[in-house]
Chains A and B, each alone.
Chain A
Amino acid sequence: MRSILDDVTYSATKAYSYRGGILDSQTITSLTESSDLDELVTKLKATAYADSVSRIDDQYTARKIEKACYEHVSDIHSNLMKTSPGGELISKYYLKHIARNLKVILKSKALGKSDTELEDYVDLYTEELVGRRDLLVKVMTADTLEEAVDSLSGTEFSKDINTALKIYKENPQMNIFDVYIDRAYHTQLVETYSKLNSNLPFSESIAVKLRPIISHYIDSYNVVSVLRAKQWNFDLEQIKEILIQPTFDIKYKKLLDMSLTDDVETAMKMLENTPYKKFLPTSFDNLADSISLLDSNIKKYEYDKFNKVFVWNAFTELVTLALIRVKEFEASNIATIAFGIANNIEKKTIQENLTS
């Protein structure tokens, strides 16, 4: 049920108050300078992550710290979900966490990993906040990959994951699960977005206000998916199947044209007369690297774009979505730092790999 405080001013103010807890560059630098995970956790205890990292038992690992950071983001996300106009969209956006966990579980099942190994990697706390652990628990406790996929029947992921399983059996590429789970998640997002509309005459609908963010998500998903599908030699019909409609700034025809090209490089070059030109890598020597680089460029742009929302779209419906995304980047940065410290990676190398 939506709250009486379902008001843009309230939710945006709340988002700004969370923004106050975002770590500044000096703190991030100081985190990268930690000599071990113990020191990193001590430093995190003086930040907004204090409650989450305090829940970690004494044996610190990079994985546990990463989990704690994502738990902190989920806490904020679930709080904002209850009070934001366009809360349905933010609720659907929460599926991202379920999707992240599902990818881990299904890939582990495919690789035949044990349940105990899985438990370290799956973040049930995130689902606990929204009362949906049952979905993941069913998948986790299934004995085989097929049973795991079966247990998802009736959920928003069911259809796509069944397709993924079919393709996986023919072409055992792990990333196929990623593509189809992402498809299911993005489909939910775009369907909810299409239903958002203002009830008030003469006022801009929430859908219009949220367009800058949703269009970015859907377009970048479509672009990266087409390129990955080409890399895995999907045929046109299969590519059509993973595309999401309605498209926004990268039109459906353009995506089909990309699909019909002979190779990934040509498909990528077709983006030169689109707004995605700025994300194109300069070299195409290694296809997998080129797609990853394009994906990473898109993410860097996202980080800048969402940070600017607090200034250029202040106190609008966009602020809550932007805050959640910026916090995700922050959690991912801390996870990178934790991984770097645990593996004795040089401070400079860690810093180069952070999104800023």
Chain B
Amino acid sequence: MGVSKITKVSVILPRSHVPNAMEQLSKFDYFHAAQPDSSTYDELLADYSKRSFKFYVRISDIIKELELNLNPGVMDVLKSGYKDSSQTIDLERWPDLMNKLEENASSIVDTFENKLKELHSLEDEISTNEANLEAIKLLSNYSIDLDKITKYNLFSVNLSICNTKDVPEIERSFNNAIFTSSSLSSEKSLILVAVQKSDSDNIDKVLRLYESETFSIPEDLPQNPTEANNLIQKSLKEQLNNIQSLKSEINSLCKQNESDIFSYFELSKTLYDSCELIKRTGELKYFAVINGFIPTNLKSSFDNLFTSWIVIYEDVDKYDHHDSNHKDAPILMNNLPITKSFKSVTLNQGSPRYGEFDPTSLIALSFPIFYGMMFGDVGHGLVLLLFGLFLLYRKAPFLKSWGQMFSISGIVAIFFGVLIGEAFGIELHKVIPIASIAHLDFIEHPIIHFIHRSEGHLASIEISALRTFLKISVLMGIVHLTAGNLLSIYNTIKNREYDELAIETIPVFVMFVGFVFLMFSFIGTEFKIDQLFTSQREAPLFFITERFLPGLTTYLTIPIATLSLYSTAALLAGLFVMVIGKPILIITGRAPKESIAMSMLVHLIDGGIEKIAGSLSNILSYTRLAVLLTVHSSLLIVVNLALDLPLFAAIPMFILLNLIVILLEGMIVYIQNLRLHLYEWFSKFYSGSGSEFKVFPGSPNNSTNSHVKLRWKHAN
């Protein structure tokens, strides 16, 4: 769980063995290539890279032109399910990858390229013929004799077909010319230009630059416009039939070969990426060096695969920043299957730094709780759960984590729905068909009665319940932020940054704790600041236990004045250490020299404003948990007004409006939840500045390939 320990490996092998090493790398589960920058490449890999890249580009062009979907869309998967269309390619040795590509893919790629070329040329012919046809029709209407217009003595007249959008520019290109145009289609126009005989050369020059074609009835056609018209129409009909049959031929070829196209596309990319990653094998003439990282626990299996060559291992200490490999070490996040689905939340900020705590497992706990609280409703929770399960049922790899996230969040939303006794904004006991369950005490009388209903009045939010939820939200915020601060201390200790621990991390935590308790005191005085250090009333530390488990903490009482005193002392002590800490380190030579006065000022501002005010705003930010629950319930109160309509309208309206609320709220709640984690929580302890472990392209664990799987004949 967390971040895997990493070992740097360097494999030294004769250059002629490079293909064998590539094969072993493709068989190994986790290898992250890390070749140093160099302009010297292994010849074979550079050649393979070039050849495979050519295929990659050619196949990409075909995919683009045929508008094929390499990855199925979410809606398609939801509608018809996910089909695993991956092809297994059997390989004996690594060079077979290139051979398979060149032998098998070539014919398919050539076929498609030729067919598409044929299609384009046919489309061009059709476009020309259509324009010619329209031009002939137009000329027939105006009774223009093509022979006559070229035989004037004083004028030179040209009749051309050009692109419609070019007409204004062509017109402006002629000075002192008679110019007229007529649209043949949205794309093509017929233009007539007449100039003095002395300027006749100019017409050709200008029209050539606009790629216009002088119109004439083709020589192979009768020069009589009517006959030419008939013949062009006939040939156009044939061409349209041809293009239709060519399109259907391409379509059926597409259906037959779609999975081949995709698998060769991925194969070419895999081969190209593999070569690009490894081709900088060093400057030695006869030996190649392959560098990379593997998880330390896989050292023995790596050893088995690379036993024929010299392998140097260097374990990278997670917490030793002086280790030269530490900053380059990639991060392999190693989470349990259930928590893995929340990895995407962590990765929004970036991979953890090597040696940094991976918060995914904690997010797997807090994320659904926050989501469920803001989305609290049994009915909506159930819809979310079922939708999550449906995504899992569809078995699309890219929807799996979403399915798990929705399912878990749905369960928590049901829990909060039970807590407030609501389902689709209706009292829970009224929608449960089984009487024995509906009459359970906590169902009939919800633990927190959130919505107040009375006959003849619009339902409303119960203010006392809202207060309770606001308190719960703040408490959750305090717990969450405390965990964040403690993780910061944990990271600092683990990374042996003891100076930072003493002058910043611990003081910040002490200030946070002091601030939180001072806030409790302030609330206890009912926001009267003058009573903060005099009031002997009991500080409201345990409002939750008092509300739900009365009597549990009666022996743990403390007067407000005492609590205020201690918490203020903690706050000031933390600030004091922060302000003087850095100067002490500068004086003792443990920190680089800088102005002591400036350092104190900076820390005073940082500690006094940023940290203290930041604590307040961070904690208050969590009130959105209660606020969004209120918004959700309020929207459902409005939605339920639809039930007063006649039944035929009420049911569809009720369903539709509920769906809108689920979609709208579901998204807002997700965004707010992300904000709480990324901004309020991560800022306390998480840098996310690590680089992700990228599995070798041909590896069995490479999840980017969904259309091709490599099967090696020899295990070793």
Residues of A within 8 A of B (CB): 29, 33, 35, 39, 42-43, 45-46, 54, 115, 119, 124, 128, 131-134, 137-138, 140-141, 151, 347
A275 to B47, CA, bound (A): 49
Contact in complex: B57, A141 (CB < 8 Å) = no
Nearest-neighbor residue (CB-CB) of A119 within chain B:
B209
* Whole-angstrom CA separation of A124 from B202 in the bound complex: 17
Q: What separation, in Å, do the CA atoms of A140 and B57 have in the docked complex?
A: 38
Within 8 A of A (CB), among B13-62: 39, 50, 53-54, 56-57, 60-61
User: Which chain A residue lies CB-closest to B204?
Assistant: A141
Give, as a whole number of angstroms, the nearest-CB distance from B694 to chain A.
15
Task: Supply 15 A–B pairs (Cβ within 8 Å), ascending by A.
Answer: A35-B50, A43-B53, A45-B57, A46-B56, A46-B57, A115-B205, A131-B168, A131-B169, A132-B169, A133-B173, A134-B170, A134-B173, A137-B173, A141-B173, A141-B205
Residues from chain A with a CB closer than 8 A to the CB of B169 are: 128, 131-134, 137
Instruction: Knowing A140-B209, A141-B206, A347-B39 are in contact, say whether A42-B172 is a contact too (CB < 8 A).
Output: no
> Once bound together, how far apart are the Cα atoms of A297 and B202, in whole Å?
44
Contacts of A128 in B (CB 8 A): 166, 169
Name the interface residues of B198-220: CB closer than 8 Å to any CB of A. Answer: 202, 205-206, 209-210
| A-contact 0/1 string along B538-556, CB 8 Å cutoff | 0000000000000000000
Checking A33, A42, A132, A137 against B209 with a beta-carbon cut-off of 8 angstroms, the contacting residue is A137
A112–B170 alpha-carbon span in the complex (Å): 25
Contact of A45 with B61 in the complex, beta carbons under 8 Å: yes
The verdict on A46 contacting B53 (CB below 8 Å), with A133-B173, A137-B173 known, is yes
Contacts of A46 in B (CB 8 A): 53, 56-57, 60
Q: Which residue of A lies closest to B205 (CB)?
A: A141
By the criterion CB–CB under 8 Å, are A39 and B39 in contact? no
CA separation between A268 and B33, bound complex, in Å? 51
Say whether B61 contacts A137, CB under 8 Å: no
Q: Of residues A131, A133, A347, which shows the largest number of chain B Cβ atoms within 10 Å of its Cβ?
A: A133
Residue of B nearest to A122 (CB): B209
Distance A33 CA – B38 CA, assembled complex (angstroms): 12
Q: How far is the CA of A42 from the CA of B57 in the complex (A)?
A: 7
Residue on B nearest A44 in the bound complex, by CB? B57
Contact yes or no, A39 B168, CB < 8 A: no
Q: Contact partner of B50 among A39, A131, A141, CB < 8 A?
A: A39
| Residue from B39, B57, B61, B172 in contact with A134 in the complex, judged by beta carbons closer than 8 Å | B172
Minimal Cβ-Cβ distance residue in A for B272: A46
A171 to B443, alpha carbons, bound, how many Å? 100
Check B210–A133 contact: CB distance below 8 A.
yes
Q: How far is the CB of A231 from chain B (nearest CB, A)?
A: 36
Q: Is the CB of A42 within 8 A of B210?
A: no
Chain A interface helix/strand/loop/mixed: helix
Chain B 282-319, CB-CB to A under 8 Å as 1, else 0, gives: 00000000000000000000000000000000000000
* Cα A182 to Cα B122 with chains together (Å): 46
Residues from chain A with a CB closer than 8 A to the CB of B56 are 46
Within the complex, what minimum Cβ distance (angstroms) separates B66 from chain A?
Answer: 15
Chain A residues with Cβ under 8 A from B168's Cβ? 131
For B209, the chain A residues whose CB sits under 8 A away are: 119, 124, 133, 137, 140-141
Neighbouring A residues of B61 by C-beta, 8 Å: 45, 54
Asked whether A42 lies within 8 Å of B173 as measured between CB atoms, the reply is no
CB neighbors of A among B373-398 (8 A): none
Query: Which chain A residues lie closer than 8 Å to B210 at the CB level?
Result: 133, 137
User: Which residues of chain B (77-120) have a CB below 8 Å from chain A?
Assistant: none
Q: How far, in angstroms, from A259 to B49 measured CA to CA in the complex?
A: 57
Give bound CA distance, A46 to B206, whole Å: 36
| Chain B hits for A39, CB < 8 A | 50
Residues of B close to A151: CB separation below 8 A: 175
Interface residues of B in 160-203 (CB under 8 A from A): 166, 168-170, 172-173, 175, 202
**Chain A nearest CB, measured from B101 CB (Å):** 15
Tell me, in angstroms, the Cα distance from A29 to B39 when the chains sit together. 9
CA distance A151 to B175 in the complex (A): 9
How many angstroms between the C-alpha atoms of A347 and B173 in the bound complex? 44
List 7 other contacts, CB 8 Å, given A42-B53, A42-B54, A128-B169. A42-B57, A46-B60, A124-B209, A134-B172, A134-B173, A137-B173, A137-B210
Enumerate chain B residues within 8 angstroms of A140, measured Cβ to Cβ: 205, 209
Q: Which residues of A contact B57 (CB under 8 A)?
A: 42, 45-46
Q: How far is the CB of A256 from chain B (nearest CB, A)?
A: 41
A contact residues around B50 at 8 Å (CB): 35, 39
Closest Cβ neighbor of B171 among chain A residues = A134
- Report the Cα distance A41→B168, complex, angstroms: 34
With a CB–CB cut-off of 8 A, which chain B residues contact A43? 53
Complex: A134 Cα to B169 Cα, angstroms = 5
B54 and A138 contacting across the interface, CB-CB below 8 Å? no
Chain B residues contacting A124 (CB-CB under 8 Å) are 209
Q: Name the distance in Å between A335's Cβ and chain B's nearest Cβ.
A: 21
Contacts of B39 in A (CB 8 A): 29, 33, 347
Closest CB-CB distance, A246 to chain B, in whole Å?
Answer: 33
Q: Which of B140-173 contact A (CB under 8 A)?
A: 166, 168-170, 172-173
What's the Cα separation between A42 and B56 when bound, in Å? Answer: 10
Q: Tell me whether B53 and A138 are in contact (CB under 8 A).
A: no
Closest to B55 in A: A42
Q: In the bound complex, how far is the Cα of B57 from the Cα of A215, in angstroms?
A: 43
| A133 CA to B209 CA, complexed, in Å | 9
Contact A141 B202 (CB under 8 A): yes
B478 to chain A, nearest CB (A): 35
Residues of A with C-beta under 8 A to B166:
128, 133
Nearest 6 A/B pairs, CB to CB = A134-B172, A134-B173, A141-B205, A137-B173, A45-B57, A134-B169
- Interchain nearest-CB distance for B309 vs A (Å): 28
CB distance from B201 to the nearest CB of A (A): 9
Point out the residues of chain B lying under 8 angstroms from A33, CB to CB.
Answer: 39
Complex CA–CA separation, A43 to B166 (angstroms): 33
List residues of chain B with CB within 8 A of the CB of A119.
209
Contacts of A35 in B (CB 8 A): 50
Which residue of the partner chain A has the closest CB to B54?
Answer: A42
Closest Cβ of chain A to B392, distance in Å, is 34
B544 smallest CB distance to A (angstroms): 44
Q: Which residue of B lies closest to A138 (CB)?
A: B173
B586 to chain A, nearest CB (A): 30
CA distance A134 to B175 in the complex (A): 11
Distance in angstroms between the alpha carbons of A26 and B175 in the assembled complex: 51
The interface residues of chain B lying within 8 Å CB-to-CB of A134 are 169-170, 172-173
Instruction: Tell me the smallest distance from the CB of B45 to a CB of chain A, in Å.
Output: 13
Which residues in B have their C-beta under 8 angstroms from that of A131?
A: 168-169
Give CA–CA (A133, B163) in the complex, Å.
14
CA distance A347 to B209 in the complex (A): 37
Complex Cα distance, B60 from A138, in Å, reads 41
A136 nearest CB neighbor, chain B only = B209
Chain A nearest CB: distance from B195 CB in Å? 12
User: A151's closest neighbor in chain B, by CB?
Assistant: B175
A247 vs chain B, min Cβ distance (A): 36
Return B166 CB to nearest CB of chain A, in Å. 8
In the complex the two chains form, what is the Cα distance from A119 to B60 in whole Å? 32
A29 — which chain B residues lie within 8 A by C-beta? 39
> In the bound complex, how far is the Cα of B57 from the Cα of A33, in angstroms?
17
Residue from the set B50, B60, B168 with the largest chain A CB neighbour count within 10 Å: B50
Least CB distance, B466 to chain A, in whole angstroms: 37
Shortest CB distance A343–B (Å):
20
A214 and B697 CA atoms in complex are apart in Å by 47
Query: What residue in chain A is nearest B46 (Cβ atoms)?
Result: A33
Among A119, A134, A140, chain B packs the most CB atoms within 10 A around the CB of: A134
Tell me the minimal C-beta distance from B716 to chain A in angstroms: 34
Compute how far the CA of A42 lies from the CA of B49 in the bound complex, rounded to whole angstroms.
12
Chain A residue contacts of B172, Cβ below 8 A? 134
Closest-CB distance, B284 to chain A (whole angstroms): 20
Q: What is the chain A residue whose CB lies nearest that of B41? A: A33
Q: For A115, list chain B residues within 8 Å (CB).
A: 205
Smallest beta-carbon distance B153→chain A, Å: 23
Chain A residue contacts of B175, Cβ below 8 A: 138, 151
- Name the CB-closest residue of B to A29: B39
